[in-house]
Each structure stands twice: as C-alpha cells, then as structure tokens.
Amino acid sequence: MMEIKNSKPFKGRIAILTGGGDCPGLNAVVRGVVKTAITQYGWEVFGIYDGFKGLVENRYVHLGFKEIKNILSKGGTILGTSNRDNPFHYPIELDGETIYKNRSSVAIKNLEQLDVDALIVVGGDGTQSIGHEFAKLGVNVVGVPKTIDNDLKATSFTFGFDTAINISMEAIDRLHTTAESHERVMIVEVMGRNAGWIALYAGLAGNAQVILIPEIPYSVEKIVEKIRERYRRGQKYALIVVAEGAFPKEGGISYIEDGADGLARPKRLGGAGQRLLEELKAYDSSYDIRLTILGHLQRGGTPTAADRILGTAFGVKAVELVTQRKFSEMVSLTKGEITSVPLAEAVGNIKLIKEDDPMILAARSIDLSFGD
C-alpha cells in the first residue's frame, strides 16, 4: 500500500461526496460536515455531484450555510449519487457499445485542481472500497459508512437503518388489520441484500409470526406448520416478513435479470416474496395469500430522529479525523462510541446475523418462526 504523504501545508479545503444508493440521513452527514468545518475551523467545503461520477466529470458545488439550509429533515442527498460509476472501472459509450476504462487518474487530477486537503466519501461497502483504492494512490480519504442494510461489519449501526426498519414496521402494522379482516396470510418483502437485519428488526417490532432471512435457509413445510398452528388457535391470519436475500433449504437466492435493454449488468436481488408465495400455494392451496413488496419505500422520505442524530455525529467525526490527519480511516459506531477504523479493515467484510444473536434468541423465545 502506498504511504500517504501529508507534508503539504494544510489549506483548509475539503470535499465530500455521497455514493451508492440514496439513504435517509445522508443530508445530516453533509450538514454535520459543513457546519463543523465552517464554524469550528473556518474551512471551505466542496460537494461533489453524483458520487464518483461527478469526481470524474469534475462537477462540484461550494457548500455554505445557504446550501445546507433546512436539509436535516430531507431524505436522499442534495449532492446526488450514483452506484454504477466506479472510476477504476468507468463505463464509456463508444460506437454504440459500453466499454470500461480506468479513469481514476482523471478523478485525482480533478481533486488536485480543486486543491482540497481531503475527500470525505459517504457510502456503503462499494463506496468505501473505491475510497480505499484512492487512498492507496495517495488521496487523503476519510470514509463515512452508510447503508439501510446495516451490513457493514466495522460499525455497530449505520444511519438509514433505523428509518428503513420504522417504515417497514409501519407497513407491517397496517397489513395486520387487513390480514385479520380477510383471514389472509400476508407476505412482506423487505430489502437487506444478503443480510437479514431489516427483516429481523422490522419483523420483531411489527409482530410478525414468521421472519425469513438469508442467514437461516427456510423450509416451506415449517412455515405452513406455523400458519396452521395459528389457525387452529383461532388466529386465522399470519404475517410473514421475508428478506430479499432469503432462500429455501432446497434452492438458492432469487435474482432479477437486469439487462432487458441488451446491456450487460449485474443481477439484482429480487423475487424472494413471489417465490415464497408460489411455494406456499403449491404446498397448501387453502390459504388466501397476498404479497407486498416495500422496495424503495424503505430508503426514501424523512429520516428518523435516530438517523438524523447518527448522521450528524458521523459528519462531525469525519471532520475531526481530517483535523487529526487520520486518513484512510472510516468513521464507526463501536460499543456506543463514535470512533474510527482503518479503511482496509472496513471494506469487504459483510456483517451477517449469527444464529446466537440476542435478537434471534429473543424472537425464538416469543415463539416466532424463522422457517427452520
């Protein structure tokens, strides 16, 4: 790994970008960075538009108090974002075809022209991995973890997660009444990629009877047994929360082919809820089963108080790391303390739910089924 040189005089100019998917609390981070940098140190802050894409295209804005006015309660990100524009594997249209080139040198040149001391990158594992690659090339990078999936191993919680589980919980609450009224089995599919944190927490909070997560492959027979047990007790309805990455013991993860327009793109997770519905009907057709897919509702709209506070604290800590010249670090919430970890340790380590997780044990104690 290239050693980062910090011999240049500090100019008090920093840049920030938001990468990957949008997430409630991103604007809280931006606001925390800008307000801390200006009020505490008199620095200048520049926002890079549309994540790393804006860094390659040299598009940015000077961020002052006017630009961050009233953004704390707004979802999304005022800077925009992109999750398909890795500067080290950058898509370029050439003669009607998409080819990929390494444009990292262009991005670095644009940073040098902007004359900033450090780049704060806010995003999930993919964004932090790209930030780590820039750090190895000598860029002063500070990472801020973001994902509604809460699957970054180097931090206890990420902002956006609390909003996602609250939105999911509210949806489950509302579905309880219609499920009971019509004596239906309601399946609610939530996000989370290959980790089941949203499903676990939202299912617990929403009083689901079955929670299906990627970490515990399920048996259709066991799920039907749980439904039949409820119906025998006179509770003739059931709520099942299924994570998008959940899968049966006899099969693999469900994907949606993302290339209908002829362009080669990675497969996306999707279809777990629909597959479960079809599996349940095939096993026992006597139940009226309906599916609700929450999708992007979970990552949109107003962030909760918890995500506003955590996002703000993360933004403040990011600036603190810059003042300490602690680069190649990512902000982290560890054992209730806002601290930091090396980017090298933060990337590529997905946090999955262990079978002895306290929330798993609590769920089993109240007779909640994981389909196993």
List the CATH code of the domain at 13-159+303-346: 3.40.50.450
CB atoms within 10 A of CB 142: 29
What is the set of active-site residues? Answer: 149
- Does domain 165-299 bear CATH number 3.40.50.720? no
Model pLDDT, residue 5: 47
Q: Tell me the β-bridge partners of 350.
A: 152
Q: Give the pLDDT band (50/70/90) at residue 266.
A: low
pLDDT averaged over every residue in the chain: 91
**Average pLDDT for 190-195:** 92
**pLDDT confidence band for 258 (50 / 70 / 90):** low
State both tokens at 97: 């075809």
DSSP result, 119-152: EEEEESHHHHHHHHHHHHTT--EEEEEB-TT--B
pLDDT at 354: 95
CA 319 to chain centre: 22
For the cut 70, the answer to whether the pLDDT of residue 38 exceeds it is yes
For residues 207 and 369, the answer to whether their CB atoms sit within 8 Å is no
Residue 264 confidence (pLDDT): 44
Q: Taking Cα atoms as reference points, which of 184, 367, 209 lies closest to residue 281?
A: 184
pLDDT at 10: 82
Amino acid at 358: P
Q: Output the pLDDT for position 270.
A: 76
Alpha-carbon distance of 79 to 18, in angstroms, equals 7
Give the C-alpha separation, 343 to 141, whole Å. 9
Q: What is the mean predicted confidence (pLDDT) over 346-371? A: 94
The runs of H, that is alpha helices, within the chain are 26-41, 51-57, 104-114, 125-136, 161-182, 197-205, 220-232, 272-283, 305-323, 343-346, 358-365
Rounded average pLDDT over 259-286: 76
Does residue 4 register a pLDDT over 80?
no
Please give the pLDDT value at position 54. 95
Are both 13-159+303-346 and 165-299 of the same fold? yes
pLDDT at 9: 77
pLDDT, tens digit, for every residue of 279-306?
999 998 999 999 999 988 888 889 999 9
Angle, helix 305-323 to helix 26-41, in steps of 10 degrees = 40
Domain residue limits, the chain: 13-159+303-346, 165-299
The two tokens of residue 206 are: 């929403």
